[in-house]
């Protein structure tokens, strides 16, 4: 049997928490002002905060690689406890003005508790996390405001959803334009050019071989560029699987109604030149056929490993109903 490469070694001032869906992996940077990179899903906000307290005592700063629900879920709770929140400048501005499209929460039907962004981040900006200096790397594609974090001395790169051991982040050609896949590919190429020693993705384990992970990711990203229809299907499958995860599945008798009420499905159908009803049917049958979802006790369930979410934790308002952001001091 061929020996497997060892997992990458992190310095003692970093603690990395690999989490199953629906939470993104979480990185804690220790120091005088401990910092948390990404805060998981709102349904597990208490768990995230408790973990951070157990490992650092307090959190002074939360940095989001992007604003999807699995990355910003404990922002509000940690902010209420005194943490500042930092995020890409474009996303920060939208959150501040309470744009209805914030976090794509309503569009994706993924709940996000109201929060504010205290520190907008720009490409090439230096940011102090704990006691170490990092560089912001704007890496649009998965979202327009997506960013990576680069620690040059240790050659550690936090890549968010841009890359994992097995895949790359889905792109939204409807919301972000037909060039979103090209943009994601260019971001991957830029990150690969940094030649990191360690890559910390938001999902799945850290790859043992960073260069091999980038090589695989670049091939996958190129396929999304070459096959726009495939990119649309890929995004639809990921969004629907996440919906099943956070809801503990959906009864088969309610799936059709659920899907037909989704803006993302209507947009995907338009790009694929299908009726929404036809897309919904093929999405379900295709994912059942591939094993991505399963039918059990009258419910459709996501097959991928994920953590149960208490239904009551999903009852937070869409951004259009968030209270106004407090004025900066």
Per residue in 49-106, pLDDT (tens digit) is 999 999 999 999 999 999 999 999 999 999 999 999 999 999 999 999 999 999 999 9
User: Which is the CATH superfamily of the domain at 14-226?
Assistant: Ribonuclease Z/Hydroxyacylglutathione hydrolase-like (3.60.15.10)
Residues 171-179: what's their mean pLDDT? 97
Q: What is d(CA 125, CA 129) in angstroms, rounded to the nearest whole number?
A: 13
Residues 132-141: what's their mean pLDDT? 98
Does pLDDT of 45 surpass 80?
yes
Going by pLDDT thresholds of 50, 70 and 90, the confidence category of residue 5 is low
Dmax (CA) for the chain in angstroms is 61
Question: Residue 300 forms beta bridges with which residues?
Answer: 250, 295
Q: What is d(CA 53, CA 57) in angstroms, rounded to the nearest whole number?
A: 4
pLDDT of residue 329: 40
* Residue 314, C-beta contacts closer than 8 angstroms, at least 6 positions apart: 42, 43, 111, 246, 247
CA distance readout (Å), 23 to 70, 150, 306, 316, 326: 5, 22, 8, 17, 27
* Residue 2, C-beta contacts closer than 8 angstroms, at least 6 positions apart: none
In the numeric block, the tokens 């896949």 are attached to 181
Residues 162-169: what's their mean pLDDT? 93
Whether 70 contacts 146, CB under 8 Å: no
Does pLDDT of 4 surpass 80?
no
The reported pTM is 0.96
Tokens of 328: 């900066």
Domain boundaries, the chain: 14-226, 228-314
pLDDT of residue 185: 98
Lowest pLDDT segment from 5-9, 114-118, 256-260: 5-9
Does pLDDT of 3 surpass 60?
no
Helices (H), 4-103: 45-56, 69-72, 75-80, 89-96
pLDDT of residue 8: 85
Order of strands, sheet of 250-251, starting from the edge strand that comes earlier in the sequence = 250-251, 299-302, 293-296
Q: What is d(CA 147, CA 122) in angstroms, rounded to the nearest whole number?
A: 9
Helix (H/G/I), strand (E/B), else coil: 127 = strand
pLDDT of residue 168: 97
Per residue in 237-280, pLDDT (tens digit) is 999 999 999 999 999 999 999 999 999 999 999 999 999 999 99
Q: What is d(CA 130, CA 13) in angstroms, rounded to the nearest whole number?
A: 8
Residues 184-211: what's their mean pLDDT? 98
Q: What is d(CA 45, CA 39) in angstroms, rounded to the nearest whole number?
A: 7
Q: What percent of the chain has pLDDT above 90?
A: 95
């Amino acid at each position: 049997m061929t020996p497997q490469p060892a997992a990458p070694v992190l310095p003692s001032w970093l603690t990395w928490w690999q989490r199953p869906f629906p939470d993104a992996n979480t990185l804690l940077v220790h120091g005088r002002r401990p910092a948390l990179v990404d805060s998981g899903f709102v349904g597990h906000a208490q768990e995230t905060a408790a973990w951070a307290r157990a490992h650092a005592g307090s959190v002074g700063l939360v940095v989001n690689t992007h604003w999807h629900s699995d990355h910003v879920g404990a922002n509000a709770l940690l902010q209420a406890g005194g943490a500042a929140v930092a995020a890409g400048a474009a996303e920060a501005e939208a959150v501040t003005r309470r744009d209805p499209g914030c976090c794509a929460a309503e569009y994706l039907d993924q709940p996000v508790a109201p929060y504010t962004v205290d520190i907008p981040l720009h490409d090439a900006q230096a940011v102090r996390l704990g006691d170490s200096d990092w560089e912001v790397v704007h890496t649009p594609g998965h979202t327009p405001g997506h960013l990576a974090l680069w620690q040059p001395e240790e050659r550690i790169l936090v890549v968010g959803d841009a890359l994992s051991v097995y895949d790359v982040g889905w792109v939204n050609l409807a919301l972000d334009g037909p060039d979103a896949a090209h943009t994601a590919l260019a971001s991957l190429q830029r990150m690969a050019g940094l030649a990191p020693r360690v890559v910390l993705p938001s999902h799945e384990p850290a790859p043992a071989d960073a260069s091999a992970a980038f090589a695989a990711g670049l091939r996958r990203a190129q396929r999304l560029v070459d096959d726009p229809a495939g990119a649309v299907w890929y995004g639809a499958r990921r969004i629907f699987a996440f919906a099943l995860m956070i809801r503990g599945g959906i009864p088969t008798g309610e799936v059709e109604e659920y899907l037909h009420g989704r803006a993302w499905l209507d947009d995907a159908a338009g790009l694929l030149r299908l009726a929404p009803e036809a897309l919904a049917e093929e999405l379900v049958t295709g994912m059942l056929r591939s094993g991505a979802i399963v039918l059990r006790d009258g419910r459709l369930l996501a097959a991928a490993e994920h953590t149960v979410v208490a239904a009551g934790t999903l009852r937070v308002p869409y951004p259009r109903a968030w209270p106004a952001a407090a004025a900066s001091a």
